[in-house]
Every structure is written in C-alpha cells, then in structure tokens.
Chain A
Amino acid sequence: MIVKKSFYILFLLILFCITSCKEQAEEVMASSEVSEEISVVAIEESVLEESVYVAEKEDVKISTDSVVTPPNAAVDESYFDDTVFIGDSRTQGFIYYNGLSNAIAYVDKGLNVDTALNKQVIKLDGNCYTVPEALEKGRDFKKVYIMLGINELGWVYSDIFIEKYSELIDRIKEINPETTIYVQSILPVTEEKSNSDEIFNMDKIGQYNTLIKAMADEKGVIYLNVAESVSDENGFLPKEAATDGIHLKKSYCALWLEYLKNNAV
C-alpha cells in the first residue's frame, strides 16, 4: 500500500515536472521567436544602413571618376541661380520636384535635339520660342545643363542624333561663349522596362551615352555620368524609382540634384 502510494506520488511529481518543463520550453521558444524577429529587423536595418553607407562611399567615388573636368567642392542650390536647364519630361520633373524655381528651365515633354533647335516650344511672356531663341532672350546665364536623348532612342540613325546634339552645343556657345556647359548622360530605365521595350532599353541608352560622352570630349564640355546617381548595382533604374519605368519619382530626383551639387566645376 505504501509502495503503491509512493509510486502514485512519484508519478504526480514526474507529471508536474514534465508539464512545467513543457511550459518553460514553450516560453523559451516564444521568446526566441520574438528575438529572432527582432534580430531579423535589426539585420535588415543594418543592411539598409550598410547600403546607405556604400551608396555614400560610391557617391564619393562617382564624383571623382565620372566627370571630365575635376569637380570642386559641393555647392548649394544657389549655384543654380544663373543656370539654364534644357531637357525633356525627366528634367521637367527634376525641376518641379526639387523646387528649383531659382533656375531657368527650358523644358518640354518629348523634347529632343531636333525640336530643341527647331520647334518653338518654350513659352516666355506669352510667346513661344525654340531653345536657342529663348537663350538669346537672356544671355546672362553662366551655366547650362542639358539632358536629352531618351526621346531619340527610336531614331533610325544615331549619328543624326549626335549631329543635332553637337549643333545645339555650338549654338549655345555662339549665344554665350562664356557659359559652362554640362552634358548629362541619359538616365537608366527599370529592368522590367528595359527587357520589354524595343526602344527604351539599356542597350540603346548605353550606346547613346557612349556617343554623348565622345561628343562632350570633342566639344570640350563637361560630361556628367549622372545616371550613376540613380542606378542599381546592375545599372538599371530601381523598380521603386518610377511608376512607368522611365519618369523619376521625387526621391530619385533629389538624388539626381545631390549628384549635380557634388559635381559642380
């Protein structure tokens, strides 16, 4: 009877131990799941911080490698007070989103090197002018930033593109020989856009940028590989940068501006 009672007590003790151990184990597992979640978040944050750091480091590298003439120290936005921006819808977005109302913007959706020279699309005081005509109206600008080429990617002959681009540079020099001319590379498109579009793809953009850089060298103007400021590690525009794969959202226009500020001559 005593043995039987002792066995019963022992059984109860074992049962209690098993139950409490199980509860402890569950608690430990739950807490380890939480800490795992926390550590995942921490890792993600550290990766993010690391990529920001890498981006900053790369910015420094970009600023020394991609400019024909060595850049000076970073400038602030007042640097653009005496500046004219010439470009298409992407430059228009850049001006609007960055609030660069101190600069002059001769921009138009769909603008290309030919329409810039020949089509009266620049509105000034209720009248319309070509880009050179508009530049002649106010000759006291000191710098000109140009980004053209995305709308010309579908042209049959790329040499005509460069011919017209060179003509535009020559016209600007004629109008204001003292001006500093910055020619910017064509910005990338997203990988999805590039893989699905016969015209707006990175192969063509790469070809055109090579031609633009050679033209800039020949003309003695500054070539800015601004594309690097908004590219991912494979050279594409990140998916989150544009709803249509081409036009930059506000945050990416800000990266573009930072690049220009860090690469002023």
Chain B
Amino acid sequence: MKKILALMLALTFLTSCGNTASKEINIDSLAETMVSSLDFEDELMAIDSEMAFYIHDVEELVNDAVVYLGSGATAEEVAVFEAKNKNAMKELKEEIAEYIEDKRDEYEDYIPAEVSRINKAVIREEGNYLVLCINNDAESVKTLLEIYFNKEK
C-alpha cells in the first residue's frame, strides 16, 4: 500500500505538471508500473510477445499485449491487452474469463491455496484496453488502475 501511496503522489505530480491528456495508453509502461508498484510474493518477469500469445490465445483479437508472470510458485500475473476494436474486446473478455477458469482448475490440484488469490483477479476494461491482474490485494490493484486511467484521460 505504501508503494501505491508513493505512486499516487507521483501521478498527482505528473498530472498537476500539465501532462497532456491522451486516450492512448502505453501498455508496457502500465504493466511495468503495476509490477513495480504492487506487492507481489513472487518475482514477476516480462514474457516475450510471442510467448505471451502462447499463454493467452488472443493474437487475432489484439494489437498488442504485455504479460508478466511469476516462476510458478504463485498464480500472480499482470497482463495488459489492446483490443483491435469493440467486437474484439468482447471476445477478448470471454477468452480472459476462460483463462482464469483454466488457471483456477490448474492450481486447484496443484497449490490449492492459490485459488483464493485467483478468485481476487481484477479485470479492468478501459476503452480498447483490458487489464488482468492476479494479486492478493485487489483493492490496491483497483486503486492503482483508477489513478492511472484517470491520469491518462
């Protein structure tokens, strides 16, 4: 939470300095901000883009995607997608919902304690962007995304 407060201050400062309003989001920057600002138990690392589509079978639906995964010790994850259009966004949301179901099934037999974390998964849609974050502190995730997207508006 301390990290979130620091981020709030930083973003507030950026906003008050007259950062230009834009609907375009730099998804690399957003994912990186999430990984560095939120508390994760495991060390999350960026997955290369081809592998990101190997994990999330959504290549046809998006312009770009950024995925950060842990070592497998936890179910933690950060993924940010830029959908091609509104129709693609609809399908993308369905794919991500299915992905979470699969992940829940996978961990149920493997590390049952991780299921509660997966149940706290935050999915946030903003324009053509979709964010998935699996983290124990869902409230902090929501707060961070609220601040981030408001800054970008």
Contacts and interface: CB of A to CB of B under 8 A. Distances in A.
The majority secondary structure among interface residues of chain B is mixed
Interface size class of A (residues with CB under 8 A): 20 to 34
Interface of B: 41-43, 45, 47-48, 50-51, 53-55, 69-74, 102, 106-107, 109-111
A89 interface: yes
Given A101-B50, A249-B43, A96 B69 contact: yes
Contact of B50 (A93, A97, A99): A99
Interface string A171-200: 000000000000000000000000000000
B72 A92 contact: yes
The majority secondary structure among interface residues of chain A is loop
Given A243-B41, A247-B71, A110 B109 contact: yes
- Residue from A96, A108, A249 with most neighbouring chain B CB atoms (10 Å): A96
A243 B48 contact: no
Interface string A76-117: 000000000000011011011101110000001110000000
26 contacts: A89-B72, A89-B110, A93-B72, A95-B51, A96-B54, A97-B69, A97-B71, A100-B51, A101-B48, A101-B50, A101-B53, A101-B54, A108-B106, A109-B106, A109-B111, A110-B106, A110-B109, A243-B70, A243-B73, A247-B42, A247-B72, A247-B73, A249-B43, A249-B45, A249-B71, A250-B45
A90 B47 contact: no
A97 B73 contact: no
A90 B72 contact: yes
A242 interface: yes
Contact of A243 (B42, B51, B106, B111): B42
A187 B142 CA distance: 38
Contacts of A249: 43, 45, 71
A246 B107 CA distance: 16
Given A90-B72, A99-B51, A109-B72, 9 more contacts: A92-B72, A93-B71, A97-B47, A110-B109, A244-B74, A246-B73, A247-B72, A249-B71, A250-B43
